Structure 1
Amino acid sequence: MGTWGAGNFDNDTAADHVSQVVSRLVQEITEAIEDPSSLEPDEYGGTMVPCNVELLTLIVKQGWTGAELNAVTISNVRAWKSTYMGVWEQSIDELDPKAAWKIERRQVLELTFDALIQIAES
């Protein structure tokens, strides 16, 4: 086992664990995107996907070994965003949200995906 520091993420085992966490988050997003009906705002995937996207962003920003988006390309993330936002736009009004909340929520969702797109670009 290689260790390069005293931090919680400064060894090979931690790097393997982080890599597995990242892979699991990506897999969950991918599976949900493949079933757009699961992405409606009142469905599990409608909440899970933006949460996982934000978790990926936070983890990858740390720069830990194992926290890379190896299998995820910019086009993947843009496709996730396009599919997710398309479903959201088509179904959100069925839940009768307040106009101000809908505007604010759309902005949060856009920023969430855009943050990961920015990381994937770098």
Structure 2
Amino acid sequence: MGSWGTGNFENDTAADHLSILTDRLITEVADAMAGDPVGIEPDEYWGVAVPANLELLSLLARQGYVGASLPEAEVVQGWKRTYMAVWEGYIDKLDPSSGYKDERRTVLIRTFDELTELRKKEDSD
């Protein structure tokens, strides 16, 4: 086992573990996005879990840990198009309170875009 510091994520085993975790988050999103669109409607489990997984990936990527993997930027943008089309087509059926719809849309778009930018930065480094 190689170590390069004393931190919890500064050794080969932790990097391998982090790779497994981030791969799982990515696979869950990929599976949800490839499945029945009903599964990613805003009041369904994956409608909530997909953006949560993406934000977790962003949080991990910002730490700069070895082993954290991210999906390709083009993949994230494809997910964004699919997810947002489903969200836009369904959100009004939930009769959201005033302002919620616009604020939530902003958060969702930012979530996808931040992950895209983190991947682009990773590619340019």
TM-score, with length taken from structure 2: 0.93
Q: Partner amino acid for 1:100?
A: G
- SS of aligned partner of 1:99: coil
SS at match of 2:10: coil
Q: How does 1:45-64 map to 2 (within 5 A)?
A: 45-64=46-65
TM-score of the superposed pair, with normalisation by structure 1: 0.96
Task: Determine the structure 2 residue equivalent to 1:121.
Answer: 120
Aligned to 1:38: 39
Alignment of 1:14-93 (within 5 A): 14-35=14-35, 36-69=37-70, 72-93=71-92
Counterpart code for 1:82: R
Note the alpha carbon deviations across 1:81-110, whole angstroms, 9 max, x for none.
111000000000110112311010000101
Task: Encode CA deviations 1:1-48: one digit per residue, 9 max, x unaligned.
Answer: 111100000111000000001000000000000122110001000000
Q: How big is the shift at 1:68?
A: 2.6
1:107 & 1:34 partners in 2: Cα distance? 23
Provide the rounded CA distance (Å) in 2 between the counterparts of 1:27 and 1:20: 10
TM-fit CA distance, 1:53 = 0.4
Distance in 1 (CA, whole Å) between partners of 2:103 and 2:50 is 18
- Determine the C-alpha separation between the residues in 2 that align with 1:67 and 1:4: 16
Structure 1 alignment gaps of length 5 or more? none
Q: Are the equivalent residues in 1 in contact too, given 2:23–2:69 (CA < 8 A)?
A: no
Structure 1 stretches of at least 4 aligned residues deviating more than 2 Å after TM superposition: none
1:3 aligns with 2:3: yes
Q: CA RMSD in A?
A: 0.7
One-letter amino acid of the counterpart of residue 15, structure 2:
A
